[in-house]
Structure 1
Amino acid sequence: MLSKFTTTALIALSGAWVAESRPAESSTTPARNSRRWLPGSDKIRGVNLGSHFIIEKWMAGDEWNTMGCGDTNDEWSCVQALGQDAADIKNLGLNTVRIPVGFWINEDLVNDGEYYPKGGLEYLDYIVGNCTEAGLYVIMDLHGGPGVQTPNQQFTGHSVSTPGFYTADNYERAYKFLEWMTERVHTNSAYYNVGMIEVINEPVQSGSYPSEAADMIANYYPTAWSRIRAREDQLSVTDSNRVHIQMMATAWGSGDPSSSLTDQTFAAYDDHRYLKWDTSVTATQEGYISAACSDNRGGDDIIIGEWSISVADDVQYNAEFDIKDTDANNAWYKDFWAAQAQAFERSGGWIFWSWKCNYEISGFNEWRWCCQSAAAAGIIPQDASSAASISPCS
């Protein structure tokens, strides 16, 4: 099972954005942070808690095998193979800025015949409470939606060929999740620093699923918005303390997320930027640095919620990019990290994917996806705000 790590280590490495604070409500209640977006304040700088509440087999091979999941491909098939009790989540506790969770962490929303792990909520409470105590800003990300929002992806918790999320019944389950999480944010002291809720991660794109993407833009996004705000109204939440509501940015390819919204107060947008998979980028050291330095993803309401320093599959192990040859390439990877981070700070900031992973190549720790091990290797600086000062971009 995945182990807990100290809050202190993450604070030093993430430098996560926190809005202006206000006095504690009582001597026993942690100081709350205003959830109001402050465009002139520090940028968001952080990491994802990837593969901890939704385990992705490729990132956690040893743990996957230890749990007895063997050749299964995702959480659904693992639970189905083991039986529910053996697959319940145990001892997961990591701090981060963006916390990807599946809808099934609210077990009341799981239907009969769905195989999802149980028991994660108490560990989520533990992690979010630590973030609040540490003063870290938290984005709660609905990473795995009811019915599966994207085909053939482990991050959904159930890798299937056809996405089933885009139905009235599954939308309703997602709305109930968002209402439940909104209430938790405003009534549970551990969640005081959750300032943003992402309503769905990486949905289908218009090019592959035009009707599903259009329906999400026209119906799911505006209804998710109104259900969150209505629950806040019921709880008498003040305007300045409302959560930000985050949707995938236009650049994701599902359409304009704001086109059917009647209000955009405290709206935020999530942009995932993996140069590794951008076929327009020349896959050389010079090509990647040039692409990173010229990147501009949009304004302060856009957060680059996922990115890495990995490069294209067909070149990642050659001499130019081999991470085992540290003398030759470490300096370049430092530049690559800094160039991307600097570019993303032209927008609202960035959240690296991911904090920690168990991923090796030929016995060597693959740190291009892993903030903790990249920092230990000296690739990512201890001061996450230093990108501009060390970037190779002119």
Structure 2
Amino acid sequence: MVFLTYPDTQDEIFQQHWDTWFNQADVDELIENGINTVRIPLGFWLIEQLVDRKTEFYPRGGLAALTRGLRQLKDAGIVAILDHHAPPGVQDANQMFTGNCTSNVQFYTKPNYRRALTWTAVVTALSHLHPDFESVFAIEAVNEPIMDARQTPGYGDFQKKFVMVMRAVEAALGISSSSLDLGLDIQVSSSFSNATQAILDLGNLNTGLFDLDVLTALADAAIILAQISFDSSTAFDIGQSCDGQTPLVANFMDVNWQHNNPSNPAAAKNGPQGYDNHLYYSFGGVADATPTAYMESICNLGRVQADAALGNSPLWFGEWGLPTQFDATDAFLRDFADAQKLAYVQGAGWIFWNFKIEQSVLAGDVSRQWSYSEGVKRKYLTKDPSAYFNPNVCDPYINRTSSST
């Protein structure tokens, strides 16, 4: 008798998870709750050709699962941000969201920057070429890099190359806009039979326009795209026209996410660009752990204005929730939800983390404060996301401040 054990069963286990964790019933609930935008966290291993199977152990089949989910979201009229949540090498220490909870942070190195750029090129092309990706409007470069900019060498240069890779792929596909400038004098795609050839030859047509990292990413991505297009689970027409399409939004965590002389992603701008900020009170450092301090802090939040002053606009809040550092009452959670929504709509909008979470006997009732679905059911969050239980909830707190920790 043969027993299959990890890692032989990992692909099967993850396939079962993807099939059950997000399906049509979840899409229907998003529609019922008025959600029009989702942010999808993705690992670099989504593009399986980028994984070093000798040292990196990640499941296969993610791209097919994503394709299926995007098709369902597109049919529902829900648009998507594809977020590079776990780039190669791990971008922050001891964080589960990186896909490898380790202190060995290696993302900020040349080889892993290159892999991330190749990932970007592939996902950009898929977003324009694959019919199931039509609802994608933005790609986020890196989720939550280390906050201390002294520990992220080369990150500013990576931001510029990230944008250049996106725009180079789009130029190869014949996509342009009045806000986009690559110095191209020809419609590149008109010279070639398919996207792979166009992307491969773009660098040769414009010698000196792109540096080696960008050229390498384009060449590697072209090969990977050809492989994906012939895979039965992800197949698409690599020779189709992109006429009438517009450039994707390049998305970064905002400049104020980091400290100690961070690079400003606004310096990388070439074409449409958006900025992301995340705010959680439960991890400390925002306000004292009291209901009054929380409300005074959120009702006087100035992050949208601070970002705009540094060119980081439009700004949206891609993660927030209701967890607290104290035992919050139902009444407080309702007020806190309203107050956060009022603060975040001063920018380009918000996305709650997460739409649902796993129920756990050991962890207790964590979904009460972390699940959007539960928040709606328990009436902390309005059924209509644009509505409020109390639109004047901040009136007693505006222009008042409490000491922060």
Q: Give TM-score scaled by structure 2 length.
A: 0.69
Q: Distance in 1 between matches of 2:392 and 2:331?
A: 11
Of 190-199 and 373-382, the range deviating more from structure 2: 373-382
Kindly indicate whether residue 287 of structure 2 is the aligned counterpart of residue 281 of structure 1: yes
- Measured against aligned partners, the alpha-carbon deviations of 1:176-222 in whole angstroms (never above 9, x if no partner) come to 1000000000001111110000011111122xx61x424101x1100
Higher relative contact order (CA 8 A, sep 6+): 1
Q: CA deviation at 1:372?
A: 1.0
2:257 counterpart of 1:252? yes
Question: In the TM superposition, what are the counterparts of 1:83-102 in structure 2 within 5 Å?
Answer: 97-102=38-43
1:108 and 2:49 equivalent?
yes
Matches within 5 A, 1:162-181: 162-181=104-123
* Other-structure match for 1:66: none
> How far off its partner does 1:385 sit?
0.2
Partner SS for 1:158: coil
Correspondence for 2:74? 132
Instruction: Tell me the equivalent position of 2:87.
Output: 145
1:112-171 deviations in Å (ceiling 9; x for gaps): 321011111111001111111111121000000011111111111111112101111111
Runs of 4+ in 1 over 6 A off after TM superposition: none
Tell whether the 8 Å contact from 2:382 to 2:389 is kept in structure 1 after alignment.
no
CA deviation vs aligned residue, 1:227-259 (integer Å, no higher than 9, x gap): 110000000113271000011101211524336
Question: In terms of Rg, which structure is larger?
Answer: 2
**Separation in 2, partners of 1:388, 1:245:** 34
**Correspondences of 1:14-163 after superposition (within 5 Å):** 14-16=34-36, 46=37, 97-113=38-54, 114-163=56-105
Give the distance between the partners of 1:14 and 1:142, measured in 2 at CA.
25
Q: Please say if 1:293 is aligned against 2:235.
A: no
Tell me how far apart the structure 1 counterparts of residues 136 and 385 of structure 2 sit (CA, whole Å). 21
User: Aligned pair 1:236/2:177, yes or no?
Assistant: no
AA at the equivalent of 1:383:
D
> Is 1:346–2:346 an aligned residue pair?
yes
Q: Which runs of 5+ in 1 are unaligned?
A: 17-45, 47-96, 322-328
Contact 1:338 1:390 in 2 (8 A): yes
Q: Which stretches in structure 2 are left out of the alignment for 5+ residues?
A: 1-16, 178-244, 396-405
Q: Supply the distance in 2 between the matched residues of 1:391 and 1:175 (Cα, whole angstroms).
A: 45
CA shift, 1:6, in A, is: 3.7
Q: For structure 1, which segment, 245-254 or 140-149, has the greater mean C-alpha deviation from structure 2 after superposition?
A: 245-254
Provide the alpha-carbon RMSD of the alignment. 1.9
Contact 1:103 / 1:146 at 8 angstroms: preserved in 2? yes
User: 2: distance between equivalents of 1:367 and 1:98?
Assistant: 21
Task: Compute the displacement of 1:277 (Å).
Answer: 2.4
2:251 counterpart letter in structure 1: Q
* Secondary structure, aligned partner of 1:350: coil
Shift of 1:280: 4.3
For residues 199-348 of structure 1, what are the structure 2 equivalents within 5 Å? 199-206=141-148, 210=150, 212-217=151-156, 219-239=157-177, 241-253=246-258, 255-258=262-265, 260-261=267-268, 263-298=269-304, 299=308, 300-312=313-325, 315-316=326-327, 321=328, 329-348=329-348
Q: Deviations over 1:64-97 (max 9, x none)?
A: xxxxxxxxxxxxxxxxxxxxxxxxxxxxxxxxx1
Structure 1 residue 388: deviation in Å? Answer: 8.2
2: CA distance, partners of 1:224 / 1:233: 14
- Cα distance in 2 for residues equivalent to 1:364 and 1:162: 32
Q: Is the 8 A contact 2:334 2:389 kept in 1?
A: no
Partner SS state of residue 339, structure 1: helix
- 1:106/1:288 Cα in 2 relative to 1: closer, same or farther (>3 Å)? same
Change beyond 3 A, Cα 1:280–1:109? closer
Bigger CA drift: 379-388 or 329-338? 379-388
Q: Is the 8 A contact 1:342 1:388 kept in 2?
A: no
Post-superposition offset of 1:389: 5.2
CA contact (8 A) 2:175 2:247 kept: yes
- 1:13 equivalent among 3, 17, 33: 33
3-state SS of the aligned residue for 1:133?
A: helix
Q: Tell me, in whole angstroms, the C-alpha distance in 2 between the residues paired with 1:360 and 1:295.
A: 33
Change (3 A) 1:366 1:127: same
Distance 2:258 2:44 in 1: 23
> What's 1:185 paired with?
127
CA distance in 2 between partners of 1:361 and 1:387 (Å) = 32
Partner of 1:60: none
Q: 1:20 corresponds to which residue? A: none
**Structure 1, 248-257 or 100-109: larger mean CA deviation:** 248-257
